[in-house]
């Protein structure tokens, strides 16, 4: 069977060029005479890969020298708990801005570990709009302000980095990291599960300002302590070597595609094309998100008649358009347009949607 156009929300599409390179190198990587999965993470060859991958990521995001880059195990959900363990504990306020499912989950995990305060919540709009900055309640003595720049399920996204004053800004960028240029200097900490724009699941990339690592409690077990991971160059324990390798290939691919300026322009074009098709469908399709808060990465949409949902999914899959079923929390459909999703794929989806509406509208 030929590969389809993959619109999965995560684990998600990986650039085909990266998959082909990984396939070619699977049995015999570089000078190792073995797979990258079969060699020591402390050996010279993997150490070189680790250093080069960090250098490439720093180049892509223009990461300043006073930030550490960590390649950690797990997913973002693990770090929903680990972040307050390291930077807040029970005696510190931590402000959380909630704009969807993942922000809610971050709050639930942090609740027993820190004095969590909800600075803003978009639940009144059913998470279809970003609360205006002047409505937020922030604490000047908070350990940090946590937010989710892009919510994959509800399809809302911040179009700017919020100003939170001198309090460190912490961002779960699992679904929009590397999708456009970013000023890392505005953040205290950025973390991202890899399975959307970086590669395979099981790896988390973290960018953390060095001064924050001084807060990590000395009595915290080393395996949970970010300062310990930083001091050991992400090799405190055996890392996800294959995930790290795939990430290194993705970074190279991004650089070869022209970097984040070029990728950002492409992502903007993909999103605008699909939203134009939805808005121009005469009501056959609808996106519930306020236009100013619409995500470039995840586009949820509904059909005017829910009875057509099953047929839409059946016909779209037959047409090679994969993983379009929406999350159960919101229903309908969802197209995720991460970096590896091509403009050609988005045009194919928009064409199919237009034809489907013509036939069943």
List active site positions: 102, 172, 196
By the 8 A CB rule, do 177 and 198 touch?
yes
Q: Under DSSP, is residue 228 helix (H, G, I), strand (E, B) or coil?
A: helix
Q: Using CA of residue 121, residue 124, residue 130, residue 131, what is the dihedral sign?
A: negative
Contacts 24+ apart (CB under 8 A), 131-140: 131/97, 131/99, 133/162, 133/163, 136/97, 136/162, 137/95, 138/95, 138/164, 138/165, 138/167, 139/93, 139/95, 139/167, 140/165, 140/166, 140/167
Q: What is the H or E stretch that residue 210 is in? A: helix 210-213
Residue 191 to residues 197, 206, 312, 319: CA-CA distances in angstroms? 12, 4, 35, 36
Q: What is the H or E stretch that residue 322 is in? A: strand 321-322
């Amino acid at each position: 069977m030929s590969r389809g156009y993959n619109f999965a929300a995560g684990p998600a599409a990986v650039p085909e060029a990266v998959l082909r390179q990984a396939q070619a190198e699977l049995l015999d990587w570089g000078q190792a005479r073995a797979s990258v999965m079969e060699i020591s993470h402390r050996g010279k060859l993997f150490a070189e890969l680790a250093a080069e991958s960090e250098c490439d990521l720093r180049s892509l995001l223009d990461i300043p020298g006073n930030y550490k880059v960590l390649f950690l195990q797990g997913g973002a959900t693990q770090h929903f708990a680990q972040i307050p363990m390291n930077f807040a504990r029970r005696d510190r306020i931590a402000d959380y801005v909630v704009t969807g499912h993942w922000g809610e989950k971050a709050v639930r995990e942090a609740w027993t570990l820190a004095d969590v305060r909800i600075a803003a919540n978009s639940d009144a709009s059913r998470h279809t709009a970003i609360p205006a900055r002047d409505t937020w309640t922030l604490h000047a003595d908070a350990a940090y302000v946590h937010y989710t720049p892009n919510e994959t399920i509800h399809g809302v996204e911040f179009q700017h980095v919020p100003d939170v004053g001198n309090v460190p800004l912490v961002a779960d960028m699992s679904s929009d990291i590397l999708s456009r240029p970013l000023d890392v200097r505005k953040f205290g900490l950025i973390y991202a599960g890899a399975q959307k724009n970086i590669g395979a699941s099981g790896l988390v990339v973290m960018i953390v300002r060095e001064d924050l690592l001084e807060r990590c409690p000395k009595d915290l077990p080393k395996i949970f302590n970010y300062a310990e991971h930083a001091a050991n160059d992400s090799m405190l324990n055996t890392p996800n070597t294959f995930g790290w390798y795939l990430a290194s290939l993705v970074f190279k691919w991004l650089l070869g595609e022209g970097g984040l300026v070029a990728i950002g322009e492409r992502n903007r074009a993909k999103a605008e094309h699909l939203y134009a098709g939805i808005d121009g469908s005469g009501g056959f399709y609808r996106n519930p998100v306020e236009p100013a808060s619409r995500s470039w990465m995840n586009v949820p949409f509904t059909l005017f008649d829910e009875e057509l949902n099953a047929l839409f999914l059946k016909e779209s899959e037959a047409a090679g358009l994969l993983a379009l079923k929406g999350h159960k929390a919101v229903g309908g459909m969802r197209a995720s347009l991460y970096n590896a999703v091509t403009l050609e794929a988005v045009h194919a989806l928009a064409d199919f949607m237009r034809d489907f509406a013509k036939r069943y509208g």
